[in-house]
Amino acid sequence: MNFSPSHTLRTVHPGVQALFRLVTGFLFACHGAASLFGVLGGAHGGGTVPAPQWPAWWAAVIELVGGVLVLLGLFTRVAAVICSGAMAYAYFSVHQQHALFPIDNGGEPAVLFCWSFLLIACLGPGAFAVDALLKRRTVTRCDRGTAPALRT
């Protein structure tokens, strides 16, 4: 048995990557649900965002739908890129006008979500993703020889 640090990291990498994806997607979806439905304290400490107010309501939809997709590992990379872009937009259009650094302008969550989703988009979903199940199912069908035989 090999207990070297590199072997251990290789072994746990897909699970840790999946856990990071699950937590990030869940927290992002909670932000969207709070803004759209007033649950979990509501938008900015109470209430909901009026539909279809630009950009807050649309951002909340991206947060909820994108967060759930990333959480499930379904269309993970595409959803993560959209979520990352939404948070970059939020930071530069809402937060940065108040101060240069995120610690001063309240943009830390936007920056952290932006970079977290960019990391998920680059690395992929990890283990326990619906994308992997769908891919495996498609490959299995092709491997069974479901294509009709050619007649000569």
Question: What would the pLDDT profile of 28-74 be if each residue is shown by its tens digit?
Answer: 999 999 999 988 887 777 788 888 988 989 999 999 999 999 999 99
Q: Are 98 and 40 in contact (CB under 8 A)?
A: no
Helix axes of 5-37 and 56-72: crossing angle, nearest 10 degrees: 140
Torsion, Cα of 109, 112, 116, 119 (10° steps): 150
Pairwise CA distance, residues 37 & 81, whole Å: 24
Pairwise CA distance, residues 66 & 17, whole Å: 18
Pairwise CA distance, residues 27 & 44, whole Å: 15
Question: What would the pLDDT profile of 106-128 be if each residue is shown by its tens digit?
Answer: 999 999 999 999 999 999 998 99
- Of residues 80 and 41, more confidently modeled: 80
pLDDT at 115: 98
Average pLDDT, the chain: 87
Q: pTM, whole model, 2 decimals?
A: 0.81
Average pLDDT over residues 78-106: 94
Return the structure tokens found at 115. Answer: 């970079």
> 52 preceded by cis ω (within 30°)?
yes
Q: Are 51 and 38 in contact (CB under 8 A)?
A: no
pLDDT at 47: 81
Q: Which of 72, 52, 83 is nearest to 128 (CA)?
A: 72
Pairwise CA distance, residues 58 & 52, whole Å: 7
